[in-house]
Amino acid sequence: MRNFGEFQDAIYTAGIGGEQPRFPFLYSDLKKRAQEILDPRIFDYVSRGSGNGLTQTKNVEAFQTYGIMPRMLRDRSVRDLSVTLFGRKLANPIYVAPVGVLGAVHPEGDLETAKAATKLGVPLICSTLSACRMEETRAASKGNLDFFQLYPPNDPELSEHFVTRALNAGFDGIVITVDTGQLGWRPHDLQKASLPMHYGQCLANYTSDPAFWRLAGVRSEEELTIEKKVTTWDRYFSDPTFSWDHVKKIRAMTKLPLLIKGICAPEDARKAIDCGVDGIICSNHGGRQANGGIPALDSLEDVIEAVPNHPVLFDSGVRTGVDIVKALALGATMVGIGRPYVYGVALGGQAGVEFVLQCLLAEADLTLGVDCYASIAELREYGLKRVEFLSTHSEGLV
């Protein structure tokens, strides 16, 4: 395939033979179809955010405060959407953001996602919260650029084990998520008094680790009752004292790329680089953690300006290929996909994730093509204009 947009030609061509697409194209339909098949407690866990959902909504609406300026009659036959991350050239500018409940959304959610990302060459960030062990996920994504995402637990040995295991498993780097020192206030989960992990779901990295067994007072995985798993996880999942000194300790464990996810303040981005971190993920966790109202996209330019010599990846609120184009135009090194692919995995495992990622890439590419930008560099030169809200209608978009 020369351009990602050719995905649409394949669909129209199949249509001539009577073949209809298996999955929906619009995000709102994707979400609706996922809602029809998912257990309501899982659907709410995925789809809702913290507090009244203001930050989550604003994340999405923020993209509407930019418009892309079309240019005309310039050669756009081949579009270059490639980027370079830590010396590795990648054909596309998106990555799969870490999501901790893929195994609750689909029985093989972690592996199906890993296979889809690997097939398409889309980098993957694997969550600490996973229904299969990180070693298994890594085995399913051989050759792909994959990072292990660490939720720093409240026990130094367990934390060290997670990092060491990730390095031994062959991950290409570590992402430390720093916006989850404690779980945010999530009324929809509270209303059901439900967290997937309290059903013992997605704890495989913990339950397979000898440090976790020690914390649970057992000697092997077999001895872990559901109650022991859940109470131990509850107690040690997060570390509200996690600080820059802890980051430096993890830095000292590896020379592989280290990224920090959950940064919005430029001062924090600079601090991270001072601690030896290699890259920043500007994100507010899709509005699931703190409901402060500020959309993550509004922080992106300032964060990039604060650390001009380091990659700044972005996620939170990306729903369409056009959103990808806008985040790239603002300077993001790569753009992370969250909830859309989770609905994809719910609907069709690997095929569902592939479909969602291919649609996003095709729309991004065709947007560049129609607007006559042949590369991200060209787009950055001219492409973006700040506008009034194009619409305040966000129903179905979030």
Toward ligand FMN, which CB reaches closer, 3 or 127?
A: 127
Between CA 333 and CA 326 the distance in angstroms is: 12
Between CA 240 and CA 201 the distance in angstroms is: 23
| Cβ 182 vs Cβ 154: under 8 Å | no
Bridge partner list, 261: 177, 281
Contact call for residue 46 and ligand FMN (CB under 6 A): yes
Residue 82 CB neighbour total at 10 angstroms? 12
Q: Which residues fall within 8 angstroms of residue 193, CB to CB, at 6 or more apart?
A: none
Q: Is 198 a catalytic residue?
A: no
| Cβ 232 vs Cβ 225: under 8 Å | no
Toward ligand FMN, which CB reaches closer, 3 or 56?
A: 56
Toward ligand FMN, which CB reaches closer, 58 or 76?
A: 58
Window 235-274: contact mask with ligand FMN (x via CB under 6 A): --------------------------x-------------
Give least dist CB 130 to ligand FMN, A. Answer: 8
**Footprint (CB under 6 A) of ligand FMN, residues 193-232:** none
Contact call for residue 129 and ligand FMN (CB under 6 A): yes
For CA atoms 310, 311, 317, 321, the dihedral sign is: positive
Contact call for residue 30 and ligand FMN (CB under 6 A): no
- With CB under 6 A as the contact rule, which of the stretches 6-14, 18-26, 96-104, 214-222 interacts with ligand FMN? 96-104
Toward ligand FMN, which CB reaches closer, 45 or 212?
A: 45
* CA-based nearest residue to 324, from 144, 147, 83, 117: 83
Q: Which of 144, 149, 208, 358 binds ligand FMN (CB under 6 A)?
A: 149
| Cβ 83 vs Cβ 323: under 8 Å | no
Q: Which of 31, 58, 285, 326 binds ligand FMN (CB under 6 A)?
A: 285
Radius of gyration of the chain (CA): 20
Residues lying near ligand FMN in the complex (CB under 6 A) are found at: 45-46, 59, 97-101, 127, 129, 149, 177, 261, 283, 285-286, 288, 315-318, 338-339, 342
- By annotation, the residues acting in catalysis are 285
